[in-house]
């Protein structure tokens, strides 16, 4: 397995963390990793809602509840459904070169390849009933514990996701509406009956994913100017975050 670089970095704000993932993808596309790829971890310090790239705010989010709790609404560069981020979430980001791995050449192939490896990494920690559900969910006993999504460039792919550890699920149920296109395995369950938290410390999940992806060599640098540019021009702007109201 080709070794990946490792970056354990939580940036100060929600916008910076979302911009960080996109900047790391663009940096890979520009040759910044010398073909090796990277694995990032980050843990949000405040609550915020994140929409998938094509989601509509009015269909996914209870804006009044968000305003009442001063929870900002942002949009990421990848697909997938809307989520609540905050303390008790562990996020990971993979930026991988497509060349040399045929499974990464298509959306479905990347989903299968990466989600299988994630499941195999997590199963020894929580039991063999961890399963891949929908396209990119991990579930434990039929309840979702991790959601994931991807964005593709010509030569590189970004694949990232969230593990629910200590997140306030009642708050998620308050600020997120039922998804307009739920996966079949959800069975129309409300958030509190569909989601589950992992009773694991972040360090154990990080160690398992590092081993699964052979990611131990620290990333030698971070594209900070690009992160700042993306925050200023995109992730801090209503034109991006509310582009499909």
Has residue 162 been placed in a domain? yes
Q: What is the CATH number of the domain that holds 156?
A: 3.30.930.10
Terminal C-alpha separation, the chain: 43
Would you say 111 and 119 are in contact if contact means Cβ atoms under 8 Å apart? no
Point out the residues of the chain with pLDDT beneath 70: 1, 244-245
134 occurs within a structural domain: yes
pLDDT at res. 128: 76
Tens of pLDDT, residue by residue over 27-53, are 999 988 877 899 999 999 999 999 999
pLDDT by residue (tens digit) across 3-19? 999 999 999 999 999 99
* pLDDT at site 2: 79
Residue with tokens 């991990």: 138
Q: What is the pLDDT at residue 36?
A: 86
What is the domain count for the chain? 1
Rg (CA), the chain: 17
Is 227 strand, coil or helix? helix
Q: What is the pLDDT, as a whole number, of residue 94?
A: 98
Domain containing residue 45 = 4-239
- The pair of structure tokens assigned to 157 is 């792919």
Closest CA to 86 of 197, 1, 217, 180: 197
Query: What pLDDT does residue 107 have?
Result: 96
Q: Is residue 245 part of a domain?
A: no
């Amino acid at each position: 397995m080709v070794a990946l670089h490792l970056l354990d970095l939580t940036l100060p704000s929600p916008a910076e963390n979302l911009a960080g993932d996109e900047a790391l993808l663009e940096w890979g596309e520009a040759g910044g990793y010398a073909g090796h790829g990277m694995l990032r971890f980050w843990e949000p310090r405040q609550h915020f809602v994140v929409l998938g790239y094509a989601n509509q705010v009015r269909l996914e989010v209870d804006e009044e509840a968000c305003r009442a709790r001063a929870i900002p609404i942002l949009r990421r560069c990848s697909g997938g459904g809307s989520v609540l981020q905050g303390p008790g979430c562990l996020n990971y980001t993979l930026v991988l070169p497509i060349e040399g791995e045929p499974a990464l050449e298509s959306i479905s192939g990347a989903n299968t390849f990466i989600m299988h490896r994630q499941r195999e990494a997590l199963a020894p920690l929580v039991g063999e009933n961890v399963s891949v559900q929908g396209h990119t969910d991990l579930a434990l006993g039929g309840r979702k514990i991790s959601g994931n999504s991807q964005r593709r460039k010509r030569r590189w792919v970004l694949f990232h996701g969230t593990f629910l550890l200590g997140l306030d699920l009642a708050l998620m149920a308050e600020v997120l509406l039922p998804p307009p296109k739920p996966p079949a395995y959800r069975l129309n369950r409300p958030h509190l009956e569909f989601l589950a938290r992992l009773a694991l410390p972040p360090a154990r999940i990080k160690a398992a994913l590092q081993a699964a992806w052979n990611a131990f060599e620290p990333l030698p640098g971070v594209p900070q100017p690009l992160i700042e540019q993306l925050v200023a021009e995109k992730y801090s702007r209503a034109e991006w975050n509310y582009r499909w109201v």
